[in-house]
Amino acid sequence: MSQFANASSPDKKKLARKFRSRGATQSEIAKKLDISQSTASVWTNSVTISARGMTRLNKLKDLARRNAVSVMRETRGIEEAGYGAAAQSVFSAIKKDKHFFQVICSMLYWAEGGKKDTSVSFINSDPKMIGVFLHSLRKGFDVSESKFRGMVHLHPYHDSEEVLGFWSRVSNIPLSQFSKSYLKSNAGPRKRPNYMGSFRVRYYDTRVAKQLKSIYTTLPDFI
């Protein structure tokens, strides 16, 4: 029980106004005097808060904001972990056989690939997407590594050797099978941090190109 719980109502009101002038919050006053927060608000509504009191209240507000952000981040992290677990369960229920990789590869090709029947062409700046596409292509189809070609789209600020080595590692295509890089002359002065340009992979095989096309064109009828 609060030490002020048995004080008279007039005395509590004086104390409430005193505490408020020193920068106490309405909830703190209510707890100290054993009164409702609405009563504390009515009693202290016209109180002039001292400079020191305002400093204290501002610090409390700032702390409350930081705590709220922290809670939001923690909640978001828990939600994202839940989504991640759900995604894992989705893929764990799928048989990752040759047909699975063929479908994944054809969906990516449908969205981002070149639509020629003579070769398979795919370009993107996201290393993960390039990696997934090539992994699916290699797992889903009978491919010959010698038929792969890579080409990098560079900006003037790029270190050509560094970027070429990066995409060679991502694609697992040797530099000897890279075409001459394409330099974007209209890129402007702005430098994008951690941006390694775009990578285009081309696989020269009419058979695989037609297989991919047949899968993604059949999908709407299948589902």
C-alpha dihedral sign at 14, 16, 19, 22: negative
The lowest-confidence range among 6-20, 167-181, 201-215 is 6-20
In a domain, 145, yes or no: yes
Question: Is it the case that residue 3 has pLDDT exceeding 80?
Answer: no
Note whether 207 and 114 are same-domain residues: yes
Instruction: Label residue 187 by pLDDT band (50, 70, 90).
Output: low
Which residues sit opposite 123 in a β-bridge?
A: 200
Task: Give how many domains the chain has, as a whole number.
Answer: 2
Question: Is it the case that residue 156 has pLDDT exceeding 90?
Answer: no
- CATH of residue 138's domain is 3.30.1330
- State the pLDDT at residue 161: 93
Residue-number span of the structural domain to which 35 is assigned: 9-49
- State the pLDDT at residue 186: 64
Mean pLDDT taken over the chain = 89
Contacts of 199 (CB under 8 A, 6+ apart): 123, 124, 125, 127, 130, 150, 151, 152, 153, 167, 170, 171
